Chain A
Amino acid sequence: MEEGAPRAIRLAILAMGGEGGGVLADWVVDLAEHAGYLAQATSVPGVAQRTGATIYYLELFPKPAMNGRDPVLALMPVPGDVDIVIASELMEAARAVERGLVTPDRTVLIASTNRVYAMTEKIAMGDGRSDGKPLVEAIGLAAQRLVATDMALLAEATGSVLSAVMFGALAGSGALPFDRAAFEATIERAGIGVEASKRGFAAGFDAATRKSAPIPQDIPAALPDAAVPESIAPFIERLPFPARAFARLGVARLADYQDEAYARLYVDRLLAVAEADAAHGDGTYRLTTEVARELALGMAYEDTIRVAELKIRPSRITRVHGEVAAKDGEVLKVAEFLHPRLQEITESVPAGLGRFLERNRLARRAIEGLTRKGRIVETTSIRGFLLLAAVARLKKRRRQSLRYEREQAFLTGWLGRIATLAKRDYALTVALAECRTLVKGYGDTHERGRRNYDLILANLARLDGRPDAAAKLNALRQAALTDDTGAKLGAAISAL
C-alpha cells in the first residue's frame, strides 16, 4: 500500500477509577466529531470502576479522507503505533512505557506526575514507595515528546478535576489538529461544571505550552531551621557540621517535649557520639548525623502525656480546621480515638506505683476491665479538653514515670553499644544507629518493633568482625520492616 495513506489518529488514556478517564474520552469523541472526524472509542471497565487502572482507546479518522469508504478502526492499542498517550499518574505513565504504548519515534506522552501510591507501596512498615525519579526519567526517554506536570495539583489549585486539566494539556500539547476554542466549545457542550472545568483546562493548557521540564518527584527539601534555646546553641557549634541541622531540630523538639534540661541531655549524649565519630569515623560524620536524628526521635517517645498535649494545642485545632476546609459559620467538632491500656497507665504514673500496679493482680484486673474498650474523646468539648489537659499536665512528673525510666535505659544501652562498636567497625555502627528506627509507634506496633530490635541485637555478635557486617545488619533491619509477622526477619536471621 502506498506511503502517506490516510491514517487514524490513535489515542490511549490510562486512568484509575474516579479520575474521569471516561469523561475525557467522551470529550475527545465530541471534539473530533465536531471537527469533521469519525471517532471510535472503547474501554475495558468492569472492576476498573473500583480502583484498578483502565485503558480507554480512541481512534479519530478525518472524514474528508474517507471518500465514501468506511475506515476499519482498531479496538485496542498496538505497541509502536500509538500517537498520543494520556496518563493520569506517574506510575501509570511508566506502565504505558512498560507496555510499549509509548514509543520514542511516535508518541506524544501527556502525563500527570502526581503519585497515587499502589497498595504494596502503602502497606510497608517503613517506606515502601517506589522512587519517582527513574520513572520521570524513563517517561521522558520513551516518549517522542513529553508534556508532564503535576496535574492533580493543578486540579486542586483551580478547584477543578483532573480530567479537565488533562484535556487542557492535550490542547496545549498541539498533538491534535484542533485549536483551543474547539476544545473549550466541547466543555461547554457537555454542560456539566463548565466553569470549573474551564479553569482546570486553562491550567493544563498553560502548563503544556510552557517550555518547562517535568517536575521531578520528592526533591528533598532543605531542612527547616529550628529555634534553639540560647543556653544550648554554643554546644551545637561543637558538633560536626553535617550533624548540626538535625541537632538543632532535635534540641527544639526536646525542649518542647520536656524542657531545656532534657534538650541539654540530648546534646551531651550527641557530643559523646561525635567524639567517638572523630576518633574512629571516616570523616563523613554519618554516625553523628544519624544518631542526631534517631536520638531526638527516641527521646521524644510518644507517651500518653505527649499525645494528650499535642491533641489540645490550639495550633493543631487550627490545622485541622484548614485540613477539613471548614467554612466560617460552620461548627467544627474534633474527636480522638484513644485506647489507653494497662501498660500506658502504669507507665505514666510514678515508677514505683507503676511497678506495683503491674505486679498486683487485683489492680491489674481492675484497670484492664476499665480499659477494655477504646474511648472517643471530643477535644473540642470542654470535658474532653479537660480530660486531655489533665493527662498533659503529667509532663512535669514525666521523669519519675516508669516509661521514662525504661526509655532512658533503652537509649543508654543503644548509645553504649554504639560507643563500643565504633572502635571496631564504623559502617556497622552506623547501621546499628539506624536500627533504633524499628522501635516506634504505639501498643502492639511498639512492642513488635522492640522485639525485632532485641532479636537483631542478640544476633549482632554473629555479624561482628565480618567484612559485610553493615550490609547484613541493614538487610536484617529491612527484613524486620517487610512483614509484621516477623517471618522474614526470622528467615533472614536463620540464613546468617
Chain B
Amino acid sequence: MAERSFKKEVQSLYLSDGEEFRGEGILAVTKALLQSGVSYVAGYQGAPISHLMDVLSDANDILADLGVHFESSASEATAAATLAASVNYPLRGAVTFKSTVGTNVAADALANLASGGVTGGALLIVGEDYGEGSSIMQERSHAFAMKSQVWLLDPKPHLPTIVDMVEKGFQLSEASNTPVMLELRIRACHVYGRFTTKKNVRPSFTLKDALETPIRDVSRIVLPPSTYLHEKEKIEKRWPAAVKFIEDNHLNEFHDGKHDDIGIVLQGGMYNTVLRALEQLGLADAFGNSDIPLYVMNVTYPLIDNEMKRFALGKRAIVIVEEGQPEFIEQAVNTILRRADIGTKVHGKDMLPMAGEYTGLVVRGGLETFLSTYGIGTKPKAPPNSDAAGRRQKALDLIKGGKVHPRPPSFCTGCPERPIFAAMKLVERELGQHHVSCDIGCHLFSILPPFNIGNTTMGYGLGGAGAAALNAPASKRAIAVVGDGGFWHNGLLSSVGNSVFNKSDNVTIIVDNGYSAATGGQDLLSSKHSNDIRTTKNPIEKAVRGVGVEWVRTITHTYSVAAMRDTLKEALTTKVKGPKVIVASSECMLNKQRREKPLRAKAEKDGKRVVKERFGVDAETCTGDHSCIRLSGCPSLTVAPHPDPLRKDPVTKVISSCVGCGLCGEISHAAVLCPSFYRASVIANPQWGERVMGRIRQSVIGWLSRRMGLDKAPPALPQAAE
C-alpha cells in the first residue's frame, strides 16, 4: 500500500468525450494511456513518476475493466523488457521509471528492444529527475535515446500537449517501428492543470489473442546476422519514417515573431520558462505571443533537418535553450546548418550555462545576452528603485554568513532505520571507524549529520557490490548497507550472491522496513502484509540463505539498540569466514502510523483500551549537551530555551509529534547517556482493575511523598518559563 492514495482521483479516469479533466500531470498521462488503447503498463517507482505507479495501482479495477494488464516490475530492466510484447504483436504497451537511474538499469533491454524494433506502439515514460530537489546524479536521458535510437519526446509542460504527445507517441512508434521515450520533468509530473478528455479505448487486439495465436519472426531477434540488418533498417527505414510522421503531424511548433531575423530554438519542456523570461523582458505577453520567433521541439530526437533549416534560413542568429549537458542538440543543429551551408550564427551554451537546471533566472539571463548581442532592447530587470535594491542588500547582509542553515532530508520521526545507525555509532566508539558502502534509499541519509556514516553509493542494490574490492586480509571488515527495495531490485544477486561467490568476509546490513519506502511506500516481495494484486510475505532471510549465506542474523526489532550493536559487533569480529548478513527488520514508521493511527483513534472512540506512549525530557536534569540528539536526530527531538535561568544552553525537548518508538530510552541505556528521558504511557479507557490499581498506587505514593516532605519541596525550577 503506497504512501499516497489516489482512490478518489482515479475516478477522473472514467471521463468520456468532451469532459474536463482536472488534476496532476501524472494522472493526465494515465488517462492519455487509456484513451490511446494501451494493452499493458509496467514500471518501477521512483520520483517523479512514483505517483504514476501509485495511480495505476489504485486504478487497477479500471484497468482490469478495459482489459489492461498492469505490472509492478522488479526493476526498470524488467519494465523495459516487458515491452517485448509489442515486438511481434500489435499491442500498445507503456512502461515508466525514473530517469536517468532507471534508464541506466533498463539500458540492456532497451537496446535489444530498439534493435529488433516493434510492431505495436511502445512508449517509455521517463521522469527526468534533474535540477532542484533531485536525488540522483545529474545526467540526461537524451544520450540513451541517441545511442539506442529511440525517439525522444520532450513536450511543453501543458496537460493538453502532454496528453496529445502520449497518443502521438504510440502512433509515431508504430509508424517507425521504434520505441518512443516521453520525457517529463519533475514539475510537469506534479503540475495541476486541465484538458478535455476523450473516452477510453479498449484494445482491439488483446494479450489473450497474443497468447493463443503466437507469432514468431526470427528477423526481429537480436542475433547475427539480424543485428546488422537491424542497424541498417534503423537508418534506412525507421528514421525516415519517423521524420515523415513528425513533420506530417506537426509535432514541433513554429511561432512567428516580429523580430524575424533572430530566433529561439527550445526543448518543449523549456517552453513555459522561456515564455516567462520573454514576458519579463517585455517581449511576450501572458498568452505566449512572442516578438521573437520560436521553434519549439516537442520531439528532441530525432531532429528534423528540414524544419531546422526552414527556421534558421534568413536569420542572423538563433539561440538554443537546451537544458543539461553535453549540448547534443546544439551540436546536431550546427552539423545540419553547416551541411546545408546556412550561415546563421548558432548560440546556446556560449550564452547559457553548460551545466545545471535552467531556472527562470538562468534562462532570462541567457536570453538577455542573446538579445542584447543582436540589438533587441529589453525591459530592465527591475524598475530602477534604489530603495528596494538597498533594502534587499541590507536584508542579505543580515542573514549572510551561514545564519540560514541548510535543511537536508533526514529520517522521519520514529524511523526504524535510525537505531541501526545509532548502533553503528556506538560500535564505531568501540571498534573504530569502518569503511561503509551505502546504497540507494532512505538509509542513505546516514551520510548526513548527525550520523555522518558512509563512504560511497554505487546504485540501487549495489551496496554490497560497492564493497566488493575491499575484501582483503585486514584487521577490519567493510560494512555494506542495502535496503529491502534495493535488495529485491538487484541486491540479492549483485551484492549478496556476489559476496558468497567471491568468498567475501564483509558485513552486509539489509535494512528491511517492509516497503520501497523512499519512493513512496510501495509494496515489495518481502512486505509483511498481504496485497490483493501482488504476492508478498517472502522473507529476506530465506532468500539470503537461498543464495548460500551461512551467517545470517535477523533483528526483528531494530529499536533494540543494544541488540543491534552487539550483533553488528559480532559480525565484525567473528572468526567465521564468508559473508555476514544482518537483516534489520522493523516496519517503516511513516507507513505504520498511516495504517495504525486511524485504527487507534477509532478504538479509543469506541471505548476500547488503548495505550498511547510518548517520550519526554525532564528539564530539571537536562544539562543541554544534546548527546541524545547526536545519536538520534529524530525530528521530534529538538531544543528549546532552557527553563532553568541559570543555564545558557538550550534544553532538549520532545515535541508532540513523538510516536513513542522507544529509541530515546534505548539510546540512553545503550550509550549510558543521561537519566532525563522518561516514557509516559497514557492508558485510555483503562480496565476496571487497572483503574483501581492506579488509584491505590496514587494514594500510597502520595502518602509516602508527604511523609518524606516531598510535597513541600519547591518546584526544582523557577516557574517562569513556558
Q: Are A312 and B705 in touch, CB under 8 angstroms? A: yes
Q: Are B708 and A127 in touch, CB under 8 angstroms? A: no
Q: Are A381 and B697 in touch, CB under 8 angstroms? A: yes
Q: Are B626 and A40 in touch, CB under 8 angstroms? A: no
Cα A224 to Cα B646 with chains together (Å):
11
Near B by CB (< 8 A), chain A positions 152-181 give none
Residue pairs across A and B with Cβ atoms less than 8 A apart, 15 shown, are A69-B287, A74-B275, A76-B273, A100-B361, A119-B405, A310-B621, A312-B705, A316-B716, A323-B616, A374-B670, A382-B701, A385-B701, A393-B708, A442-B672, A484-B630
Partner of A249, one of B284, B287, B616, B646: B646
Interchain nearest-CB distance for B683 vs A (Å): 4
Q: Are A337 and B677 in touch, CB under 8 angstroms? A: yes
Q: Are A104 and B391 in touch, CB under 8 angstroms? A: yes
- Provided the pairs A47-B518, A250-B646, A341-B672 are in contact, do residues A382 and B405 lie with their beta carbons within 8 angstroms? no
The interface of chain B, by Cβ under 8 A from chain A, is 3, 47-48, 129, 132-133, 135, 157-158, 186-188, 190-193, 271-273, 275-277, 279-280, 282-288, 291, 359-361, 364, 381-383, 385, 387-388, 391-392, 394-396, 398-399, 403-412, 442, 445, 448-450, 518, 520, 562, 612, 614, 616, 618, 620-621, 623-627, 629-630, 633, 635, 637-639, 641, 645-650, 657, 664-665, 668-675, 677-684, 686, 690-691, 694, 697, 700-702, 704-705, 708, 710-711, 713-716, 718-721
- Provided the pairs A118-B407, A123-B630 are in contact, do residues A5 and B285 lie with their beta carbons within 8 angstroms? yes
Q: Are B671 and A123 in touch, CB under 8 angstroms? A: no
Q: Are B404 and A297 in touch, CB under 8 angstroms? A: no
Apart from A51-B409, A116-B638, A307-B621, list 6 A-B contacts with CB within 8 A. Answer: A42-B191, A51-B635, A76-B360, A118-B406, A256-B713, A380-B701
Q: Are B618 and A256 in touch, CB under 8 angstroms? A: no
Q: Which residue of B lies closest to A252 (CB)?
A: B714
Partner of B681, one of A77, A332, A445: A332
Q: Are A440 and B273 in touch, CB under 8 angstroms? A: no
Interchain nearest-CB distance for A482 vs B (Å): 12
Interface presence of A126 (CB below 8 A): yes
Q: Are B720 and A42 in touch, CB under 8 angstroms? A: no
Residues of B near A310 (CB, < 8 A) are 618, 620-621, 716
Residues of A near B47 (CB, < 8 A) are 45-47
Q: Are A337 and B398 in touch, CB under 8 angstroms? A: no
Interchain nearest-CB distance for B162 vs A (Å): 12
Q: Which residue of A lies closest to B708 (CB)?
A: A389
Interface residues on A, range: 35 or more
Interface presence of A236 (CB below 8 A): no
Cα A252 to Cα B665 with chains together (Å):
31
Residues of B near A449 (CB, < 8 A) are 625
Q: Which residue of A lies closest to B623 (CB)?
A: A440
Q: Which residue of A lies closest to B612 (CB)?
A: A324
Q: Are B713 and A98 in touch, CB under 8 angstroms? A: no
Q: Are A315 and B359 in touch, CB under 8 angstroms? A: no
Cα A105 to Cα B647 with chains together (Å):
43
Residues of B near A329 (CB, < 8 A) are 686, 691
- Provided the pairs A72-B276, A314-B702, A337-B678 are in contact, do residues A50 and B691 lie with their beta carbons within 8 angstroms? no
Cα A320 to Cα B617 with chains together (Å):
9
Q: Which candidate, A132-140, A420-428, A455-463, is the interface stretch facing chain B?
A: A132-140
Residues of B near A116 (CB, < 8 A) are 638
Near B by CB (< 8 A), chain A positions 178-212 give none
Residues of A near B625 (CB, < 8 A) are 125, 440-441, 445, 449
Q: Are B639 and A121 in touch, CB under 8 angstroms? A: yes
The 8 A CB mask of A440-469 against B (1 = contact, 0 = none) is 111111000100000000000000000000
Residues of B near A326 (CB, < 8 A) are 680, 682
Q: Are B621 and A302 in touch, CB under 8 angstroms? A: yes
- Provided the pairs A134-B398, A335-B681 are in contact, do residues A380 and B721 lie with their beta carbons within 8 angstroms? no
Interface presence of A360 (CB below 8 A): no
Residues of A near B684 (CB, < 8 A) are 327, 330
Interchain nearest-CB distance for B465 vs A (Å): 24
Cα A314 to Cα B712 with chains together (Å):
9
Q: Are B192 and A42 in touch, CB under 8 angstroms? A: yes
Residues of A near B704 (CB, < 8 A) are 385-386, 389
Cα A382 to Cα B680 with chains together (Å):
16
